[in-house]
Amino acid sequence: MKVKENYISKRVLDNDIVMDITGNKKSLLKLNETAAFMFDRLKKGISFDDLVHAVTENYDIDIDDASKDINEFVNKLKELDVLDD
């Protein structure tokens, strides 16, 4: 999975915001710390399993809960057409 090239996250005050740099769309998402961590890895390209591993290694969360939360986040990004398959 990888974030499309025209999407970036920017820190604005205390929030990370996902934006389309082409200007075709407005800000899409406000990211919390964990979502920003995942978005950064998705920007570089990462498999679902590797993302689960990265999240469980960096945050106090078990594999089942991480998988569920990551699946919801990835589905939201797909719904917004942010991810390449």
CATH number, domain containing residue 24: 1.10.10
Q: Residue 57 falls within a domain, yes or no?
A: yes
Spatial separation of the C-alpha atoms in residues 56 and 79, rounded to whole Å: 25
Q: Is the pTM for the entire model greater than 0.85?
A: yes
Q: Looking at residue 21, what is its pLDDT?
A: 87
Q: Residue 85 falls within a domain, yes or no?
A: no
Q: Residue 23 falls within a domain, yes or no?
A: yes
Give the range of the structural domain holding residue 23, as residue numbers without chain letter.
2-80
Q: Looking at residue 45, what is its pLDDT?
A: 95
Q: Looking at residue 15, what is its pLDDT?
A: 84
Q: Is residue 26 predicted with pLDDT exceeding 70?
A: no
Q: Looking at residue 55, what is its pLDDT?
A: 98
Read off the pLDDT of residues 36-80 as tens digits, 9 standing for 90 and up. Answer: 999 999 999 999 999 999 999 999 999 999 999 999 999 999 998
- Torsion angle in degrees (nearest 10) through CA of 52, 55, 59, 65: -30
Q: Looking at residue 27, what is its pLDDT?
A: 61
Domains: count for the chain: 1
Which residues contact residue 26 at a Cβ distance below 8 angstroms, ignoring those fewer than 6 apart? 19, 20
